[in-house]
Amino acid sequence: MKTIYVTSVAAFSGKSLVGLVLGLRLRDAGLRVGYFKAVGNLPTQVGDVTTDEDALFVAQTLGAADEIACLCPLLLTPERAERVFKGEEQADLARIRQAFDCAAGNRDVMLVGGIGGMARGSLVGLNAPAIADLLDAQALLVARYESEVTVEEVLLARSLLGERLAGVIFNFVREADLAVLASDVAPYLEARGIRVFGAVPKDPLLSSVTVRELADRLGAKVLCCENRLDELVGHFVIGAMNVASAVKYFREVGDKAVITGGDRPDIQLAALQTPTRAIILSGNLYPQSAIIKRAQHVGVPLLVAGADTLTLVEEIDRITGQLRVRERVKIDRARAVLDRHVDFDRLLHSLGIEPVPGPNERS
C-alpha cells in the first residue's frame, strides 16, 4: 500500500481539493483509495461520532467513508489546546496509528490530508514531518504561490520533510506569475532536487462562493428568494457610484453580488435590472418594500448585514481566500483544471504508482 500525505506550506492552499482530485483519478483507474486525517480542526457530528468536516467530505466523495470513527482521531480544538498548555493531555501516537490502520483496511492507496501549514499540529507533536514519519508517507506539497517568499517556504519544507518530499504543486497562481514560474522558479527548484509537478492558475469558478455561505459568514438576514441561495457568486461590486455608471458596469458582470447601503434604492434597482446573484445591504438598513417585491419577482436574494460597507468588503476578501469546495460543479471544474496544469504521470511515477490515464485518454 502507498501512503501519500498532502500537505502545504500555509493554510488555505487548496490541498484538500488537490488530494480529492488525485484520489478521484486513482479511484477511476480501479485502485482502492482510502482517506485519513491525523489531526483536524473542523468538528462535525455524525451520529455519536465526532470527526473532521473536511475529512468526512473528501472520504464520502471518494466512497471511502465506511469507517467514519477512524477518519480523524484527533481534533485540535481550543479546549484541547488549553488542556495541553496545562499539561493535562498529550497525543497518543499509537492511537493515531491504530486509527490509520483501521481507515486503511485493504486499500491500495491511502491519502492523508494535512491541516494548516507545516507547523500546525506541533502542539500535540503531530506537525507535517511528524505525521509523514508516523505513517511512513511520501509528501506532496501544495503551495499557494505569492512571490519568491513562497519559494523560500518550499525550500524550508524540503529541509523539514527531507527525502519524504515527492515534490510540489503551485496553486492559485496569478496569470502574470505563470511565465516566471516556468522559466525561473521551476528550474531553480528542480536543480535542488525538488520536483515541480505543475502550476495551477487561479480559476474564477473555483474562487466563487455560494450566496448561502455569504449569508452565513456575514451573519446576514435573508429577506427573500431562499431557493436561490446555492447560486455561485464570482464577482463583487461595490454600489457606491452614480446610477448611470452603475447600470453600465452592472451589465458587464453577470455572476455578481452587489454590496451597497440599505438607503440606496437607486443602486438596488439598477442591480435588479441586470443579471445579479445577490444584493448585500450594509449598515443593518432594510430596503423599501418595492425593492423587496422586485427582488422576489426576478429571484435575487436580498441580504441585510450589520457591518458597514468597508467591513463587509474586508470580510468577503477573507471568505473568498478561505473557501472549502463542496459543490459538484466545482469538483468537476477542479478536475479539468488540474488535469490541464499538473503532470500527473510524473507525480504518480515519483510515488511509485503506475501512471493513471486522464479522462480524455480513457476508452
- Grid cell, residue 312, equals 463587509
The 10s digit of each residue's pLDDT in 166-211 is 999 999 999 999 999 999 999 999 999 999 999 999 988 888 889 9
The stretch 218-226 carries a mean pLDDT of 95
Among 199, 147, 205, smallest CA distance to 173 is for 199
The 10s digit of each residue's pLDDT in 102-118 is 999 889 999 999 998 89
pLDDT attached to residue 363: 40
pLDDT attached to residue 249: 79
Percent of the chain with pLDDT over 70: 96
The stretch 353-360 carries a mean pLDDT of 60
More confident residue, 90 or 237: 237
- What is d(CA 322, CA 318) in angstroms, rounded to the nearest whole number? 6
pTM for this prediction:
0.81
CB 222 within 8 A of CB 185: no
The stretch 342-353 carries a mean pLDDT of 93
More confident residue, 338 or 326: 338
Lowest mean pLDDT among 54-63, 121-130, 233-242: 233-242
Ordered by where they begin, the domains of the chain are 2-203+324-350 (3.40.50.300), 209-321 (3.40.1390.20)
The answer on pLDDT for 61 being more than 80 is: yes
pLDDT attached to residue 355: 52
Lowest mean pLDDT among 41-55, 195-209, 314-328: 314-328
More confident residue, 241 or 297: 297
The answer on pLDDT for 44 being more than 80 is: yes
The stretch 336-345 carries a mean pLDDT of 95
The stretch 37-55 carries a mean pLDDT of 91
The answer on pLDDT for 239 being more than 90 is: no
Lowest mean pLDDT among 214-218, 228-232, 246-250, 282-286: 246-250
DSSP string, 48-108: TEEEEHHHHHHHHHHT--TTHHHH-SEE--HHHHHHHHTTS----HHHHHHHHHHHHTT-S
Percent of the chain with pLDDT over 90: 67
The stretch 78-87 carries a mean pLDDT of 90
pLDDT attached to residue 354: 74
The stretch 63-69 carries a mean pLDDT of 88
pLDDT attached to residue 342: 97
If pLDDT is split at 50, 70 and 90, which confidence band does 2 have?
very high
Alpha-carbon distances of 361 from 27, 29, 357, rounded to whole Å: 15, 11, 6
If pLDDT is split at 50, 70 and 90, which confidence band does 7 have?
very high
Instruction: Look over the chain and give the mean of its residue pLDDT values, rounded to a whole number.
Output: 90
How many other CB atoms sit within 10 Å of the CB of residue 363? 3
The answer on pLDDT for 357 being more than 70 is: no
If pLDDT is split at 50, 70 and 90, which confidence band does 322 have?
low
- Give me the long-range contacts of 43-47 (CB less than 8 A, separation at least 24): 43/75, 43/77
The answer on pLDDT for 321 being more than 80 is: no
Pairing, β 302-304 against β 278-282: parallel
